Structure 1
Amino acid sequence: MNVYDFQVKNNKGELVSLSKYSGKVLLIVNTATKCGLTPQYEALEALYQKFQTEGLEILDFPCNQFLAQAPGSDEKIEEFCTLNYNTTFPRFTKVNVNGKDADPLFVWLKEQAPQDLADEEAKSFEKKIKVIKPFAKPGDIKWNFGKFLIDKNGNVKARYSPAYKPEQLEKDIQELLQL
């Protein structure tokens, strides 16, 4: 099984097979529009602009599970991201990433990479948010902007902490693009 075996709904409600992205490097991110990490959209778009022509796709999955920081409809989220951050990467319908109603894609992603890579800043952030919202179980996504890096064959190569800055992923993305 790999990421291409999944179907998800885009933000217009249309079913999309992730096999559409076969042969590309993917960065799958659970996002929110009212979070302290929301400015990461700017860095994500910069990565997308830099590497899209080489085969990078960023897949944005809004999630309202963390203090309801992704309020509004899929249309309102699209409008916010486009107007405030000029994002051009694909956005999908709002999903749950943890718990009994977690989207199957995120259940699989967490199974493939149960632990985040994190630098000291990200670890500090995780200590703060654990006080606000304890993680239900090991492997759960800790907050908005958890990131999964997928190779061209559809396999999870790395999982990054929500506070791990997107620009820090550049080297890892380049390595996968060159394979």
Structure 2
Amino acid sequence: MTEEDIQKIMTINYTGPVNICKHFLPLLRRSRGRLVNVASNAGLAPIPLMGAYCASKSALVTISEVWRYELKMWGIKVATIIPSGYKTGIMSYDMIATGNRWWNKASPIVKKDYGQECFYIKFKQKNRDFFLSAEFSDICYKIEDALLSSKPKSRYYSGFLAEFIPFIYIYLPVWLSDYLLSVLANWFEFNPKMQNY
């Protein structure tokens, strides 16, 4: 992944929402309004090969929690939606062109250690739809409740594994959570050349 890719992910998932929220804070202070941010369960637990995405969503979860404390004095309620396993456009891009771009920008040592095959995302699971829901009504109800309820929750979980993956990471012994997360997140074929030395 290039620096530009990392910056883009951070801008879309963290900096953009933060800037929008900051822009509207004067109105929210006067109206005692709501802030509702949509994060991801990837912001609550590490998912292998998705480091930049996890970091961006973790940053959004954290700033939302900080604002929840800071903005209470103004009567502003802050809620975070934690979805998991929805069929969105996050993976609908030209993976071959992206792999070529990553390979062309990689340093010689990275090329040597990983090999070109690692730059092309390949899914082990042929039917990814098994893990992804095209039904968005649950998350829409959660967003509606966060916006309209007189007593909104601070977090709303929605979707397959939304609470389970963070639970594994937070509450189980590290050796067990490492094992379970590696099994659950074993979606990609990733075999660096250096492993073969």
| Structure (1 or 2) with the greater helix fraction | 2
For the pair shown, the structure with the greater C-alpha radius of gyration is 2
What is the TM-score of this pair, normalised by structure 1? 0.27
| Higher relative contact order (CA closer than 8 Å, sequence separation 6+) | 1
What is the TM-score of this pair, normalised by structure 2? 0.25
